[in-house]
Amino acid sequence: MGLIRLIHAWAGAVVALVLVVLGLTGSLLVLKEDWIRLTVPQARAEVVPTPQALGAAAEALERARPGEIRTIAFAGPHLGVHKLYFRKAETEGYASADGQVLAEWTGPTRAEAFLFDLHHYLLAGERGMIVAGVAALAGAVMVLTGLVVWFPAWRSFAWRMWPRSSRRRELLSAHRDVGIVFAVPVFVFCLTGGAIVFHDETRALLLAMFPHEPEEVFAPPPGRGDVDWPKALAAAQAAFPNAQLRMASVPAQPGDPVSIRMKLPAEWHPNGRTVVKIDPATSTVLEATSAQSLGTAARISNAIYPIHAAFVGGRVYDVVTFLSGLALAGMGGFGLWSFVVKPRKKRVRANDRLRPGPAEVH
């Protein structure tokens, strides 16, 4: 038990600051679409994502910005603007339902882009992402060790979400109580956050656990030509009539297929993992893969992001996610303050008492 307490305390002190950042930014990102609707008036519109309407918008965007757009995340009933990903590094934008560019930015210069970059990359690129992933997995371990440490003293639990004073004992009590109340969701969010960062390792582990994957289907090679977007999207819709059109990737070079992502009713991922490959020369289907036909490992992997980012469960799950992020930040803050700052102040006071006064020196 002593070793577990030591691991829990020191691991918490090392990663606490990162977890505070991840918790606060994760809570705020739950409100991302609400923020976009607040700051971009066109986003408040309810767009019916028909192949004709989305295709016309894609055609307008290609005419306005030829060769510049890499991917379009289509508008829909909940968000009335298209999200644009440009080929220029780190450049994104919003477009109206009819395909007019409304905003464009590079890097974390908009509030929602800044929050995402801070949460996912700690504003430090790929290295920051690795640090965030390690901290998230450490947070999951800390939840488990915290439960082990708490269990012998379970009678001390008091539902205290905020310390009554800055005394170390009160800080630790709040740290403990918040951790117990939010243990399950915080563990899930930390574990799924780490799994997102270490995607390849997660997928390899899942494949080892569930090795039976469907055989890969080889599609015929695409031809060369300009995409007829209304026709291409209509062909994708015909392949999966019950699915919602969510994203389209513009071919990077002649001879590449168009990739269209769709969301079936049973899928959790906001952009879907059902993929239709389109021949740009004929705007007809080359290959269609339903997310429901994927193996167990792929389907579990596809569920990790929507669980982590609160794209399941509606507003109730949004509230749980928001509060859990605050709880993670609170646990990190209370724990760090009690472990590092408060003991140090006590030691300083003790040293002051032992230091000889002027009369003793002389």
Q: What is the pLDDT of residue 361?
A: 40
Q: Which two tokens stand for residue 44?
A: 């408040």
Q: What is the pLDDT of residue 333?
A: 74
Q: What is the pLDDT of residue 341?
A: 54
* Angle, helices 2-29/125-150, rounded to nearest 10 degrees: 130
Q: What is the pLDDT of residue 99?
A: 96
Q: What is the pLDDT of residue 354?
A: 45
Q: What is the pLDDT of residue 253?
A: 86
Tell me if 106 sits within 8 A of 167, measured CB to CB: no
Give pLDDT tens digits along the chain (362 positions): 666 666 656 666 668 889 999 999 999 999 999 999 999 999 999 899 999 999 999 999 999 999 999 999 999 999 999 999 999 999 999 999 999 999 999 999 999 999 999 999 999 999 999 999 999 999 998 888 878 876 766 666 666 766 766 676 666 677 678 878 889 999 999 999 999 999 999 999 999 999 876 666 677 788 888 899 999 999 999 999 999 999 999 998 888 999 999 999 999 999 999 999 999 999 999 999 999 999 999 999 999 999 999 999 899 999 999 999 998 988 877 766 666 554 444 444 444 544 444 444 44
Q: What is the pLDDT of residue 180?
A: 83
Residue 350 CA, chain-centre distance (Å), reads: 46
Instruction: Answer positive or negative: Cα dihedral of 49, 105, 60, 96.
Output: positive
Tell me if 287 sits within 8 A of 259, measured CB to CB: no
H or E element that contains 6: helix 2-29
Tell me if 152 sits within 8 A of 1, measured CB to CB: yes
Q: What is the pLDDT of residue 10?
A: 63
Cβ partners under 8 Å of residue 167, min gap 6? 342
Cβ partners under 8 Å of residue 268, min gap 6? 302, 303, 306, 307, 311, 312
